[in-house]
Amino acid sequence: MKIILDESAPQKLRLLIDSRHIVVTTWYQGWSGFKNGALLAAAEEAGFDLFLTADQEIS
């Protein structure tokens, strides 16, 4: 599974996810500062299966 962690999620969370999964951060992808809609579109286009965020205002 390909997982992306949003800037609002604890970045050390990636260390707790099973190593069988690919986990990257929005910063690593070069997507820091993307607004929610653009970020979700970019993640979908890049083939991510799961988007983890702590943002309570994402629709």
1 touches 21 (CB < 8 A): yes
Whether 52 is covered by a domain: the verdict is no
Whether 53 is covered by a domain: the verdict is no
The count of domains in the chain is 1
Q: Whole-model pTM?
A: 0.84
Cα–Cα distance for residue pair 51/16, rounded to 1 Å: 15
Whether 57 is covered by a domain: the verdict is no
| Structural domain that includes position 24 | 13-47
Per-residue pLDDT at 59 exceeds 70:
no
pLDDT digits (tens, 9 = 90+) for 3-44: 999 888 888 888 888 889 999 999 999 999 888 889 999 999
> In sequence order, which residues have a C-beta less than 8 Å from that of residue 35 and are 6 or more positions away?
none
Of 26, 33, 37, nearest in space to 59 by CA? 37
